[in-house]
Chains A and B, each alone.
Chain A
Amino acid sequence: MEDYKFLFKIVLIGNAGVGKTCLVRRFTQGLFPPGQGATIGVDFMIKTVDVDGDKVKLQIWDTAGQERFRSITQSYYRSAHALILVYDVTSRETFDCLPEWLKEIEQYANQQVITVLVGNKIDLTSQREVPPETGLQFAQANNMAFLEASAKEAENVETVFMDLARELTKNARKYLLRNTQEVDPNITEITGETTNISYGGCCGSG
């Protein structure tokens, strides 16, 4: 059997060049900068983390460059449990594009999806164009968690992913609890938010 209790799919979005790949690489491998273009042939990266004694496997998906010309396939969003929406604090433009990304999320992502807003590249202090408050306000207005981070300095990167892992695990446990009472799975119940969660020990029970 697999050696984890939960598997979550986390998907990164945001303009090209905001450092999505760097965040993933920093978190999964502790590397910066990642090998140029090394994303070729790699769909997603895996990191298994520990949440209160449970092994939780994070499957972290990158855009495969499709964001460059605003052509991300909707299937990319479909079964995500969480989204990390990234902008670059040194580029106002990447921040101004956030509403467009939210529109995509609204259209294609699951309604129960958890979204986190991350302002990356805070190490470049002198070039900052988006103050922290601006990011925070936007996040609050749109019901997202917010963090500023630096993939380069490894600042807050761990926090972003670990906070998510904890939140997702909390929800999944709730779900498990609810479902142990009434084991009569119905189609409508299972689609959507739970399709992809694998429960290590109890495969086949639905």
Chain B
Amino acid sequence: MADELPTEFDAIVLGTGMAESILAAALARCGQKVLHLDRNDYYSGDWATFNWDGLQRWITRQTHPVVQAMNEAEGTKPVECSKLEEGETAMSVPQQANTISNLEMFTYVREKAEELPPVEKESQEQSETVTDKEEEQTTTEETQQQIHTTEDSEQPKDVGEQSGEAAAGSVTEETVSDDKSDDRCEEEKQDSPEEKEQEKKQDSPEADKKDRQEEEKHDSPAPGGSGVQQEEVQVKADPPKKVEPKKWTMDDIHKEWRRFNIDLSPKMLFGRGSLVELLITSNISRYCEFKAVSRILTLLNGKLEQVPCSRADVFSSKFVTVLEKRMLMKFLTFCVEYEQHSEDYQGWEEKPFSEYLQSRQLTPNLQHFIFHAIAMATRDATTLEGLKSTQRFLRSLGRYGNTPFLWPLYGPGELPQCFCRMCAVFAGIYCLRRAARELIIDKDSNKCKGIVCTEGQRISCRWMVMQGTYVPQVCRKPESPAGSVSRGIFFTDRSMKASENEQITLLSVPPAEGSNFPVRAVELGNGASACPKGMFVVHLTSQGTGSAQAELQPAAEQLFQPLDKEDADTESEKPKVLWCVYFNQLDTTDCDPGTLYTGLPENIVVTSGPGVDLGYEHAVQQARRLFEQMCPGEEFLPAAPNPEDIIYEDDDGYKSGEAPSSSDNSEENGNDSEWKPDQEKLDEGVAGAGSEVSQEAAGGEAEGGDKGLPQGGGEDAPQGGDEGLPQGGGEDAPQGGHEGLPQGGGEDAPQGGEGDTQATPKDTEEQAET
């Protein structure tokens, strides 16, 4: 296999995170020759999604650096490099990202099903050694040190103790309906034969296990069946059917390794966010599939409640009184177009959003919903910030489902790869496990002329794009203002709020005492392809000031059973944590490049990592901005030609069909109201909610601008309509228009032609296959 790369490019891109990948695709799309490298053996960098084995390898890599020689103190010396020519100098490129710190891993289940002694002790030890190594590493690494040392002071450390003091315990009773057998039948009926078989195989030993467990547990306070629970139980309006959670072992997890898709950066797409728009307009949406996030929860007085964010929800919610419904509707309606009602918040702009909500005479309940669940605001958010995030939430609502958010099937790590695929389709060259060893700098012009790659090959380029972690040490400012994201990944044995259909859940846990930042929780199950059936993955994310574990533990204790308890409390509604990992991720999204880097050659542009934000706005905007800097006047990711409309004429090229691609397509598909390809997938994929989604699509078509609060399902009809909820006002019409973009006739026409010219054989030596 050819190991030599071509040697001349317009742009070399280092790193395959979101912003780099978008940029790479945009460059290739406008005819630039792109070489895209990543030092990892996987795509997406800190945005990656791993299966269990991949995650294990990633963890090992964070704690056992592969490259020992990267002593960055030496990075400041001039590099000796045999590939240099007259008048050139070289800068060495870091071979490791070093964006991760404070990694701690804990196992809370037995290794095997047999009555072996619990492995907890051992795993604690393991994680301790991990920590030690991590710390050794950090002492050599400046940036990480900073993350470590910034503000340890205000952390409520004592809360971090793993004791049973968890959530404000509301002591209640609950009857458990015992129809799990029923449930199981249903489940099996729908399984594909293969899966059924698998399940049967697992079933019998599992049943055994359960029996055993029940026996063992006979001395515990609440043996199964009595239905009386002692603590930490939430009041439920109508208790859902209870399925006994499976008793997992690490062995089970290892065996199911490929069923996991675990995200380093669990981000979501706003239904009307810039990434969704970009995916549509560029036709990259054909590479990915999504599911609608199906519910938003909030933690109110220690209990998890579903946030009534759609109109249907508001009406059906049992936690909001009739009066409150009116108030909420009125306020949300105002938020959607708050700019047009400046008199309603004049003077409040820079004052705390929390006080503003009080002043609007909303009940504490509603204030909580709006502040924490909808705006997901930081404690000190200003009114303007709060209104803005509320508006953003509301505007994205209802486009693809009952919440404003979409979740990428197989995890957000897929998304950068979709852009990489587009880049490759337009002749971008891809090489993982290879990066730049040195940058070649022209002494006179201080421009980067190219790289010496890690295999020693010299490759030249006009532009360098690099993820921040590739920036040579000499160009980094010693005092980095970079922030940090606190991340926790938990495997659990049941959902944090049981429901009939599996859900994709978003929850914002209000800031802990003394903290400014809420903790965002995302819960995913097998339906989101995150993990095996019967298990859930919960991602906790917060803006970090201290170590991830200290930062997130208060939230974890509110959401889960006491972590250190060995056996699951089968009666508790809270999930038992089976395994978890904490880590901090470097965040430069808030930093101006000037504060991070110095003396960078002018033809080098630098991108940021994922950061703490839920959405993708930062990466998309950054890529767009850099693209405009590099290719002024060029269109940013125009629609790629639709392969179905390319008519092949003869063997030395092909011509685009006379009709522009997508308009044709939409006609063919019959439904052109929105993002057709994914609408289709959603219809099929969202299942339970499937009917709603298609109704939604239909509704959207009929009413044109729909939005705002989704039309929801049938339950909406009786009450709906009359209440004054934002009904696709005039301001929506233009938005509706945007959605049509990919199908947009005239605008697309030239693009078909463009694809055509690109496809002519002349610029294609690289593609030869035979």
Q: Which residues of B contact A19 (CB under 8 A)?
A: 769-770
CA A54 to CA B558, docked complex, whole Å: 55
B767 touches A65 (CB 8 A): yes
CA A2 to CA B410, docked complex, whole Å: 28
For the complex formed, measure the closest distance between the CB of A115 and the CB atoms of chain B, giving whole angstroms: 15
Mark contacts of B188-210 with chain A using CB atoms, 8 A cut-off: 1 yes-contact digit, 0 otherwise: 01111010000000000000000
Q: Which residues of A contact B687 (CB under 8 A)?
A: 185-187, 189-190, 206
CB of B432 within 8 Å of the partner chain: yes
Residue of B nearest to A179 (CB): B190
B759 touches A42 (CB 8 A): yes
B191 touches A189 (CB 8 A): yes
CB of A112 within 8 Å of the partner chain: yes
CA A189 to CA B296, docked complex, whole Å: 23
CB of A203 within 8 Å of the partner chain: yes
A40 touches B684 (CB 8 A): no
For the complex formed, measure the closest distance between the CB of B468 and the CB atoms of chain A, giving whole angstroms: 22
Given A65-B767, A194-B684, A206-B684, the answer on whether A188 and B533 have CB atoms closer than 8 Å is yes
CB of A73 within 8 Å of the partner chain: yes
B418 touches A75 (CB 8 A): yes
Mark contacts of B726-770 with chain A using CB atoms, 8 A cut-off: 1 yes-contact digit, 0 otherwise: 000000000000000000000000000001001101011111111
Which of the 9-residue segments A26-34, A128-136, A137-145 touches chain B? A26-34
From B189, B192, B501, B669, A182 is in contact (CB under 8 Å) with: B189
A66 touches B430 (CB 8 A): yes
CA A141 to CA B429, docked complex, whole Å: 34
CB of A81 within 8 Å of the partner chain: no
CA A194 to CA B684, docked complex, whole Å: 8
Residue of A nearest to B259 (CB): A111
Given A2-B668, A42-B646, the answer on whether A20 and B769 have CB atoms closer than 8 Å is yes
For the complex formed, measure the closest distance between the CB of B358 and the CB atoms of chain A, giving whole angstroms: 40
From A35, A64, A203, B421 is in contact (CB under 8 Å) with: A64
For the complex formed, measure the closest distance between the CB of B621 and the CB atoms of chain A, giving whole angstroms: 23
B769 touches A186 (CB 8 A): no
A38 touches B680 (CB 8 A): no
CB of B450 within 8 Å of the partner chain: no
CB of A68 within 8 Å of the partner chain: yes
For the complex formed, measure the closest distance between the CB of A42 and the CB atoms of chain B, giving whole angstroms: 6
From A182, A184, A191, B685 is in contact (CB under 8 Å) with: A191
B1 touches A40 (CB 8 A): no
From A20, A107, A186, B190 is in contact (CB under 8 Å) with: A186
Residues facing A in B679-696 (CB within 8 A) are: 680-681, 683-688, 690-691, 694
CB of B351 within 8 Å of the partner chain: no
CA A184 to CA B770, docked complex, whole Å: 49
Residues facing B in A61-112 (CB within 8 A) are: 64-66, 68-71, 73-76, 78-79, 93, 97, 106-107, 111-112
A40 touches B764 (CB 8 A): yes
CB of A159 within 8 Å of the partner chain: no
For the complex formed, measure the closest distance between the CB of B287 and the CB atoms of chain A, giving whole angstroms: 6
Q: Which residues of A contact B278 (CB under 8 A)?
A: none
CB of A127 within 8 Å of the partner chain: no
Residue among B409, B425, B686 with most chain A CB within 10 A? B425
Which of the 9-residue segments B135-143, B312-320, B637-645 touches chain A? B637-645
Residues facing A in B283-301 (CB within 8 A) are: 286-289
B43 touches A22 (CB 8 A): no
For the complex formed, measure the closest distance between the CB of A69 and the CB atoms of chain B, giving whole angstroms: 4
For the complex formed, measure the closest distance between the CB of A80 and the CB atoms of chain B, giving whole angstroms: 12
Q: For this complex, into which size category does the number of interface residues on chain B fall?
A: 35 or more
Given A65-B767, A195-B684, the answer on whether A37 and B410 have CB atoms closer than 8 Å is no
CB of B527 within 8 Å of the partner chain: yes
From A69, A70, A193, B429 is in contact (CB under 8 Å) with: A69
Given A39-B767, A40-B426, A185-B690, the answer on whether A73 and B680 have CB atoms closer than 8 Å is no
A17 touches B769 (CB 8 A): yes
The dominant DSSP class at the A interface is loop
CA A29 to CA B289, docked complex, whole Å: 29
Tally inter-chain residue pairs, CB-CB below 8 A: 205
B527 touches A187 (CB 8 A): yes
Q: Which residues of B contact A107 (CB under 8 A)?
A: 51, 258
CB of A53 within 8 Å of the partner chain: no
Q: Which residues of A contact B652 (CB under 8 A)?
A: 35
CA A42 to CA B653, docked complex, whole Å: 11
Mark contacts of B1-18 with chain A using CB atoms, 8 A cut-off: 1 yes-contact digit, 0 otherwise: 111010000000000000
Q: Which residues of B contact A46 (CB under 8 A)?
A: 643-644
Q: Which residues of B contact A198 (CB under 8 A)?
A: 680
B766 touches A37 (CB 8 A): yes
Given A2-B668, A43-B286, the answer on whether A29 and B648 have CB atoms closer than 8 Å is yes
B427 touches A65 (CB 8 A): yes
Q: Which residues of A contact B640 (CB under 8 A)?
A: 41, 43
CA A39 to CA B427, docked complex, whole Å: 9
CA A186 to CA B526, docked complex, whole Å: 11
Given A46-B644, A75-B287, the answer on whether A38 and B685 have CB atoms closer than 8 Å is no
For the complex formed, measure the closest distance between the CB of A84 and the CB atoms of chain B, giving whole angstroms: 14
A42 touches B643 (CB 8 A): yes
CA A38 to CA B761, docked complex, whole Å: 6
CA A46 to CA B427, docked complex, whole Å: 21
For the complex formed, measure the closest distance between the CB of B427 and the CB atoms of chain A, giving whole angstroms: 5
A2 touches B669 (CB 8 A): yes
Mark contacts of B605-645 with chain A using CB atoms, 8 A cut-off: 1 yes-contact digit, 0 otherwise: 00000000000000000000000000000000000110110
CB of A150 within 8 Å of the partner chain: no
Residue of B nearest to A120 (CB): B770
Q: Which residues of B contact A169 (CB under 8 A)?
A: none
A73 touches B759 (CB 8 A): no
A38 touches B684 (CB 8 A): no
From A29, A41, A74, A111, B759 is in contact (CB under 8 Å) with: A41
CA A162 to CA B192, docked complex, whole Å: 25
For the complex formed, measure the closest distance between the CB of A1 and the CB atoms of chain B, giving whole angstroms: 6
A190 touches B2 (CB 8 A): no
For the complex formed, measure the closest distance between the CB of B763 and the CB atoms of chain A, giving whole angstroms: 7
From A17, A71, A187, A197, B432 is in contact (CB under 8 Å) with: A71
Q: Which residues of B contact A39 (CB under 8 A)?
A: 425, 767, 769
Residue of B nearest to A39 (CB): B767
Residues facing B in A112-171 (CB within 8 A) are: 112
Given A41-B759, A188-B526, the answer on whether A74 and B425 have CB atoms closer than 8 Å is no
CB of B225 within 8 Å of the partner chain: no
CA A40 to CA B423, docked complex, whole Å: 10
Given A16-B1, A107-B258, the answer on whether A42 and B432 have CB atoms closer than 8 Å is no
A78 touches B414 (CB 8 A): yes
A16 touches B769 (CB 8 A): yes
Q: Which residues of A contact B680 (CB under 8 A)?
A: 198, 203
CA A97 to CA B1, docked complex, whole Å: 10
From B421, B434, B502, A188 is in contact (CB under 8 Å) with: B502
CB of B230 within 8 Å of the partner chain: no
Q: Besides the contacts A41-B755, A71-B431, A203-B680, what 20 more A-B pairs have beta carbons closer than 8 Å?
A: A34-B651, A37-B763, A38-B767, A40-B758, A41-B758, A64-B425, A68-B2, A68-B430, A71-B432, A107-B51, A111-B258, A184-B190, A186-B186, A186-B501, A187-B526, A188-B190, A191-B527, A195-B685, A204-B694, A206-B684
Q: Which B residues have a C-beta under 8 Å from some C-beta of A?
A: 1-3, 5, 43, 51, 186-187, 189-192, 194, 258, 286-289, 409-410, 414, 417-418, 420-421, 424-427, 429-434, 501-502, 526-527, 529, 533, 640-641, 643-644, 646, 648, 651-654, 668-670, 680-681, 683-688, 690-691, 694, 755, 758-759, 761, 763-770
Closest 4 CB pairs of A and B: A37-B764, A187-B527, A37-B767, A73-B417
Q: Which A residues have a C-beta under 8 Å from some C-beta of B?
A: 1-2, 15-17, 19-22, 29, 31-46, 64-66, 68-71, 73-76, 78-79, 93, 97, 106-107, 111-112, 182, 184-198, 203-204, 206
Can you list 21 A-B contacts with CB-CB less than 8 angstroms, sorted by A residue number? A35-B653, A37-B764, A37-B765, A38-B761, A39-B767, A42-B759, A64-B421, A65-B430, A66-B424, A66-B430, A73-B418, A74-B417, A75-B288, A75-B414, A78-B414, A185-B690, A187-B688, A188-B526, A189-B190, A206-B690, A206-B691
